[in-house]
Structure formats: C-alpha cells, structure tokens
Structure 1
C-alpha cells in the first residue's frame, strides 16, 4: 500500500467502532494522522507507535492488530466512524442532527469537522407563522446563532428565530443566474436574505419583504455585512406589494406551506413578461398540481401564466416534495385585474 507501513492498530466490530475510537482518543492513543479503515464487518483504528500494546488489552471488544494504514490521503469521515450514514446538515459552525442517537453522531461530527462548534437536534417540525423550529443542545457551545457562507455571501442566521435552509443553496443559485443587472426583484418572503442578497450581488434592484421582525433585523445586518444594497420592508407581503404593480422582472415566493394564498399579489406585482418563482409542497403522485391553481388565478385576473420550468427542489417528508414552478406572467396592464383586498400571512 503506497505511502504506508505496517503499524499498530485496533480491530473492532463496526457497531462498536465509535465507542472504541473515543476510548483511544481519551487515552491519547489514537493516531489522527492515519486513516481509519473498514470493511463490511469491522473497523480498523490506527494507534500511535509510541503506545505500548499492553495498554490496549483492557478495551472490551478491541483486538490488537498489525496492519497498514494510509497516511495523509484524506480525513476520516463521520460515516466511517459510525459504520453508517447519519442524517445531519451544517449551517455555519453549527451541525443539526436528525438521528436516533444524536449524542453519538455529535461526537463523530466534532471529531471529524474541526470547524463545528455546536451540535443541535430539532425537537419540532417547522411550525408557526414564521416557519421556525425548536432545538435542544447536544454538544459543543450552547447557541443557535451562526454565520453561514454560501456562494460568496455571509449570512447571520439564528436557527430558532429566523427560518433558513442550506438545502436550497443550489436552487437559489439557479434562480439568481436568471437575473440581469438592472432587473427589479421582489422577494415576498425574504427571511435573512439568501435569495435577495444573491440577486443584489448580480446587480438587481431588490425589494425584500418579511413579516418576522428578527429575520428582518438579520437581513438588514446581512446586507450591511456584505455591502449590498437591498430595500427591506417589514410586514405582510400582500400589503407591502400594493405599490409595486407591474414592476417586477422576478418575484420570489419561497413560502411553500401557503404561497398559493399570495398568488394574486405576485401576479399583480410582476410586469408583463416577468417571471414568478413559486414554491410549494406536493405529493409524489401529483407533484405539479399547483400549475392548475396558477393558471386559474391568472385567468381570474385577466392575465396568462406561461409555464417555464418545474422541478423538485428537495425531499421534504415521505412521498412529499418541495417543488418549484417558474411561470411567466403575460398581461395587458389595462385589463389585468388590480388587487384591492390583500390576503393575510
């Protein structure tokens, strides 16, 4: 094996690998410069050459071996430590773990990812008017505030006080790449600004709206921190778009639980030829059912909705998906119905 030699190690069943790795680390015996190996049944953990093999004999489930361990090839992964693939995501320097054994997963994450400073586990689904989740502390620092970096922009995020999902990063870039310098963008449910700031970076005039006061506070700070110009409005999206009729080249509707309620305002806000980026949740057997709702609402307003794109953004729940529908608004501004009674969020 290139770049390696036979050295001391410990062999253990995969189910016991993380426990034994922690014991070796606590005893100062783990060789972190070498790569942990594994096969279908066992994990092989490298031990420092300075360690006396007799010091390892009292570890239950561990078998002392001599074998080759690769050096400086890559970092050991969380999956290799645990012997399985856990469910977690990172937001800034916080890891959010959705697993039956969050403490075990947290230990593995913090051993592998040196930049992680806190590990949390959700104790609720996304809920309430502001789409928030509640968390419990698992490991590291006790906080929910972090700075997340995405596509060259920094975002201050507080996981318990303002909604943010890193899983939408690719989708945000897809939409932003359609924006041209000088375009007007209305982000109806902006949160801390991940759509808004990325579009502002591309030279668009961005009007960012959100009803959550704390999200708005972070949005303002994020715009300042990244030196980007965004017009921020706090309050109900229906009311705060009343003065924007026929102005937007792009309207972003990232409120998948209830975006359909705001379709009249979005259609009114888009100029003729403007594009609405509409997000919703839908069952596997009828993913794009909201196309019918969009077309019907446009007809009611004397306009036309022309489908441009539809796609799955991510899996949300068993057989339920977060989907996007992009449509172009075509209208005669003299005929298209004006909205006089805003909905409520």
Structure 2
C-alpha cells in the first residue's frame, strides 16, 4: 500500500510539479488512473515536514496537512489522499523492505543493516535535501562511528544524494550562514537544485537558501501582474528573482544583496536561466543602495537633509509596484526603506516575520502606523503562514497594499 493523492486529470500537472519541487512525489511508483477522469499521484510522506513542527506527525496527519497545502497553493481540489495499491516501477524486491538492485527503502532500514536497535535509536534520520546534498542533524556527543553510519545509510537509501553534511549550530551572522561538517560522500558544499521551473547553483556554506520556501516564492510570483516593476530585498542567490522572472509577465525584477558571494551566484543563476532581459542584481546594503528618506519629505533622502552639500540629483530612488522583503528575523525593520520606493500610484509589500499564533496580528497593527510616518496609507491583508522556525513558532507573510499618494 502506498499513500497517494487523487487529483482531477486537468489539474494534475501543476500538482505534480509542486510535489516534485518539494520531493513529496515518490518516483518509484507509477501514476495510477482513477475513476471519473482522475489520477492518483504516489506520495513520499516521509519527506513531509522534515525539520519542522510536523516532522514526527503520523502519515495520516501529514496527509491531511498536505491536502490543505495543495488546496491553497495549487488552487486544485484534492479529491482524496489515501493509501492504495500502486504498481512499483522497478523490479520486484528480493526481500521485504528492500528496493530493486539492493537499495534500502529508507534510511532506517539501511541503518538496521549495520547497527543495533539501541544504536539506531540514538540517531535522527530526518534529512533536508538541497540539490544532491543531504543535511542531517547529529548531536555533538554522537560517536564518530554512528555519525559515519548515518551518512553511509543516507547515501545508500538515496542514490541521488552525493554529499551528506551535518549542521553545526544554527544560522549566524548578517548573512545567516549555516556552518556544516562533512559526514559522507563527496567533500564539497557546492550544488545545483531545481524549483518552480528554474535551476539554482549555490554554495550552502557561504550563502543562505531554503528549499522549504519554494511554494511561497511561487505564491508571490502568481500575484505579480503584467508589466510590474518588482524589487526583492535580501535576494540571496536569486530564488525569488528567478522564480518571479520565470513565472510572471513582470517588466523587471531588481534584487539587492549585501553578501557579495551570494550576489555572484544570483547573477550566475539569472544567466543560467536566461533571464537577463528581466532580472538584475544590485550589490550592497539595501540602506546604502536605497538610502532611507526623510520622514517630512519622501522625495529627499536622510543624507541630503543632514548634509546640504551633497548633490541632489542622485538616482537613489526608484518606483516599484511590488517589493518583497524575505528576511523574517528583521520583520518590519526595513519599512523606512521600502515605503518610499513604492510607486506613487500604489503597490504592494510582502513583509515576512516570525511569530507564534497568539502574536501573529502584531504586525497588521504596527505597519499602518509606521506607514503614516512616511506619508503612505497601507492596508495589510490577513497574515499567511508559510513555514516553521521551531515548535509553535512560524514564518508568516503579510501582503500589504500601499495606497496611491
């Protein structure tokens, strides 16, 4: 029996792409025709919610969460999610729990071949996947032998994985860089991954990238209207830039990134995806690229007010129809930069932040007040949950409408 989602045939392709991007589609099983023109797509629910609040949920609980996610993000009516009989694509396994050609069906089964039950119980088998790199979480006290066994098991159970790294602490510094240690496979941190019809090359040791935000990037791209001018602050290696450039009919997408290494990858990814006509990157601190304006005069920068000798014809301001601010740990800290950049005829801000369910509406109350200080009226929409930080702490996005002056 295999967990699968039933979708109308006319809506199956966008759902299949989302499942592929998130690695929820189990490619080892064939798609099955359902009744009344529907299709059953096989699911790998072991990948759902890894590293988040739902990591240890049961398959039944994950299935219901995935149903809601697909309904929201694909605008597709999920007919059913259930465990059904499906045809295995490869040759029949020679022993229970083992795929064809001797590949274990899971990391747990691969570990069971080389470790005792007590030793297996000391290891976390959940993984994050970025391209062909798998990231595991291993306690510092874990013996080196068990750490190596986990890395070997990940490689054995996932032939597409070529590198296994372990996290060393959390994200740190202005660039939110994650430190890693090599566990198994190739000793490198450079990889190429796919999402939303684009390919991204990056170095996980020197740049920040979250594959878990791919659905959110697609959601924002779907909101972009024809001929819009879009700005993406803190653009990193360019996922928002490239996804918006690929999936929308925007006029232009300008990214701003202070990490010079990430900016180089962003420019590389723009070229590799052939988006040079639409997408570009400005290198530098967003406050220097677009200096904050003086509250009393939105057309004059704060520097010009404090220093009358500065030239007044600097091209430091731009009119954007939409500004994306994907730095949730900073919340509303850059509204003073973003608001004056919005076109006088109005536009949109996408503000990200971390919050519990109880405090989720805090920013919907503060953003309109801050906006008035810069001569703009704003109407925040209902916060949209788009990820997890930890137990009961979620990543949220508020789509904020900026009214015409």
TM-score normalized with structure 1 length:
0.72
Determine if contact 2:233/2:325 at 8 Å carries over to the other structure: yes
Please give the alpha-carbon distance, in whole angstroms, between the structure 2 residues aligned to 1:102 and 1:321.
30
**Quick one: distance in 2 between partners of 1:250 and 1:122?**
35
C-alpha deviation, 1:321, in angstroms: 1.3
Contact 1:106–1:139 (CA under 8 A) maintained in structure 2: yes
CA distance in 1, matches of 2:214, 2:260: 23
Task: Classify 1:314/1:103 alpha carbon distance in 2 versus 1 (closer, same or farther; 3 Å).
Answer: farther
Which of the residues 232, 243, 253 maps onto 2:325? 253
CA contact (8 A) 2:132 2:160 kept: yes
Q: After superposition, what is the alpha-carbon deviation per residue over 1:271-290, rounded to whole angstroms, capped at 9, x for unaligned?
A: 24311111111134212322
Choose the corresponding residue for 1:208, options 252, 255, 259.
255
- Correspondence list, 1:54-203, <5 A: 76-81=105-110, 86-100=125-139, 102-201=147-246, 202-203=248-249
> Alignment partner of 1:95: what SS?
strand
Q: Is the 8 A contact 1:36 1:76 kept in 2?
A: no
* Contact kept in structure 2, 1:86 and 1:99, CA below 8 Å: no
Following superposition, the deviation at residue 231 of structure 1 comes to 2.0
Q: CA deviation at 1:108?
A: 2.6
Is the partner of 1:281 in helix, strand or coil? strand
SS at match of 1:227: coil
Distance 1:140 1:254 in 2: 32
Matched residues in 1 for 2:110 and 2:94: separation?
8
Tell me the residue number matched to 2:334.
262
- Distance in 1 between residues matched to 2:363 and 2:171, nearest whole Å: 22
Moved more, 154-163 or 80-89: 80-89
The structure-2 alpha-carbon separation of the partners of 1:89 and 1:102, relative to structure 1 and needing over 3 Å to count, comes to: farther
Distance 1:147 1:128 in 2: 24
Match of 2:266 among 219, 226, 241: 219
Q: Which residue of 2 aligns with 1:238?
A: 287
Q: 1:291 aligns with which of 326, 346, 364?
A: 364
Does structure 1 retain, via aligned residues, the 8 Å contact 2:110–2:156? no
State the distance in 2 between where 1:172 and 1:106 align.
31
Distance verdict in 2 for CA 1:298–1:197, change over 3 Å:
same
**Partners of 2:349 and 2:400 within 8 A in 1:** yes
Are the aligned partners of 1:96 and 1:121 in contact in 2 as well (CA < 8 Å)?
yes
Residues 309 and 327 in structure 1, CA contact (< 8 A), matched pair in contact too: no
Report the number of matched residues: 272
Pair 1:36–1:162, CA change in 2 (3 A): farther
1:67 corresponding residue in structure 2: none
Gaps of 5+ in 2: 2-89, 113-120, 140-145, 292-314
2:8 maps to none
- Tell whether the 8 Å contact from 1:87 to 1:99 is kept in structure 2 after alignment: no
RMSD: 2.6
The offset of 1:251, in angstroms, is: 0.4
Distance in 1 (alpha carbons) for counterparts of 2:281 and 2:97: 53
2:97 touches 2:109 (CA, 8 Å); kept in 1? no
SS, match of residue 223 in structure 2: coil
The SS at the match of 2:241 is: helix
Q: Which runs of 5+ in 1 are unaligned?
A: 2-31, 38-43, 47-69, 333-345
Aligned-partner Cα distance in 1 for 2:262–2:234: 10
Superposition deviation, residue 258 in structure 1: 1.3
| Alpha-carbon distance in 2 for matches of 1:45, 1:310 | 43
